[in-house]
Amino acid sequence: MKIAVVGATGLVGNVMMKVLEEGKYIPLISISEFMPVASEKSAGKEVTFNNRKYKVLTIDEAIKLKPDLALFSAGSDVSFEYAPKFSRIGCMVIDNSSVWRMIQEIPLVVPEVNGHVVTGSQHIIANPNCSTIQLVMAIAPLHRKYGIKRMVISTYQSVTGTGAKAVQQLENERKGVNGSRVYPHPIDLNIFPHGGTFLPSGYTTEEQKLVDETHKIMQAPDIKITATVVRVPVFGGHSESVNLEFEKPFDLDEVNKILSSTKGVVLQDDTDKAVYPMPVYAEGRDEVFVGRVRRDETVENGLNLWIVADNLRKGAATNAVQIASLLVHNEILKA
């Protein structure tokens, strides 16, 4: 396969290359040609992939080389303009931006949850929002068993979700260095309930994504969902406090058994030993970690969960490469 990573110099693009290098989902031997792609400003710079130096290409240069697969993490504007151009040359595109996610005919995929929608009939596949991915990984098997009626979500999202400039802002603040800012407030020793841009409803775009994307991925438009997104000064990943109200009664031991037997989910729940998921330990991992599993005694069939995952890996890069692996497994791509 000829593989292009569009946005190779960004945080997620860099992790995409790392996940590909590891060869866990797509064997390295099957990559006949690798193309790091970025803006014209970055063209000609060198990146290292699999112990070899590659010059960064412009998007137009990459299109001329006709890759079989393009992993996009270059923002909505770039994806909107160029993903169709790649698809028209027969290239399969997996896009990490939000621009294609809610278009009905575009698959929005978390392989462990709805991998069956990857049929090859569309040359563009959308990668969900990082917070949505870890959420549906944990709740989808519970929904299948008990039926989720209502869900209340509060997220605690890493600065890495905003990108390299946000990481730099946090590092500068911790060093007492004046530098450029991407947040409206200091992030060090602070948190603020603001992710994305505010909508007329009073919710933010990040909060609305949790609602809309969960409905689409799980094919469950009737679940009532409300969310609050909070930005916190950590690097390792996103955390979520999730309150579920089920249609059916549940047994707590059975809930734990379902979670611990779900592929890609790790149950970490031993409060006597202070064992529960934390982003500092999720960093660099592909699994979704779930803990603090307990009944909500204030409502019938209520359950609380704490969900943590590395937002750059399973929340973005790993999920995209897993989708690519599905394309290979389904023989839509030849490896």
Q: What is the pLDDT along the chain (335 residues), one digit of tens a residue?
A: 999 999 999 999 999 999 999 999 999 999 999 999 999 989 999 999 999 999 999 999 999 999 999 999 999 999 999 999 999 999 999 999 999 999 999 999 999 999 999 999 999 999 999 999 999 999 999 999 999 999 999 999 999 999 999 999 999 999 999 999 999 999 999 999 999 999 999 999 999 999 999 999 999 999 999 999 999 999 989 999 999 999 999 999 999 999 999 999 999 999 999 999 999 999 999 999 999 999 999 999 999 999 999 999 999 999 999 999 999 999 999 87
Q: Spell out the residues 6+ positions from residue 232 whose beta carbon is closer than 8 angstroms to its own.
A: 156, 157, 158, 159, 191, 239
| Residue (of 38, 22, 48, 122) closest to 72 by Cα position | 38
CA atoms of 224 and 105, how far apart (whole Å): 23
Q: State yes or no: is 238 an active-site residue.
A: yes
CA atoms of 3 and 40, how far apart (whole Å): 19
Annotated catalytic residue, options 91, 123, 143, 238: 238
Structure tokens at 137: 């990984």
| Residue (of 286, 313, 129, 276) closest to 206 by Cα position | 129
Secondary structure letter of residue 219 according to DSSP: T
Structure tokens at 232: 């916190």
Domain spanning 2-128+316-329: which superfamily?
Answer: NAD(P)-binding Rossmann-like Domain (3.40.50.720)
Structure tokens at 239: 């955390």
| Residue (of 61, 103, 55) closest to 82 by Cα position | 61
| Residue (of 61, 63, 65, 57) closest to 7 by Cα position | 57
Instruction: Report CA Rg, the chain.
Output: 20
| Domain segments of the chain as ranges | 2-128+316-329, 131-310
Residue by residue, what is the 3-state secondary structure of 7-40?
Answer: CCCCHHHHHHHHHHHHCCCCCHHHCCEEEEECCC
- Phi first, then psi, for residue 295 (nearest 5°) are -70, 145
CA atoms of 321 and 20, how far apart (whole Å): 7
Residue by residue, what is the 3-state secondary structure of 225-252?
Answer: EEEEEEECCCCCCEEEEEEEEECCCCCH
C-alpha dihedral sign at 238, 137, 100, 26:
positive
Annotated catalytic residue, options 91, 123, 130, 143: 130
For tokens 């409905």, name the residue.
215
Strand partners, 55: 46
What burial letters (b/e) apply to 99-128, b meaning 16+ CB within 10 Å?
bbbeeeebbbbbbbbbbebbeeebbbbbbb
- SS3 state of residue 263: coil
3.40.50.970, 3.40.50.1390, 3.30.360.10, 3.30.70.1070: CATH of 131-310: 3.30.360.10
CA atoms of 91 and 120, how far apart (whole Å): 11
The predicted pLDDT at position 275 comes to 98
**pTM above the 0.95 mark?**
yes
Q: State yes or no: is 130 an active-site residue.
A: yes
CA atoms of 136 and 44, how far apart (whole Å): 39
| Residue (of 137, 205, 190) closest to 159 by Cα position | 190
CA atoms of 297 and 139, how far apart (whole Å): 19
- SS3 state of residue 293: strand
The predicted pLDDT at position 334 comes to 86
How long, in residues, is the chain?
335
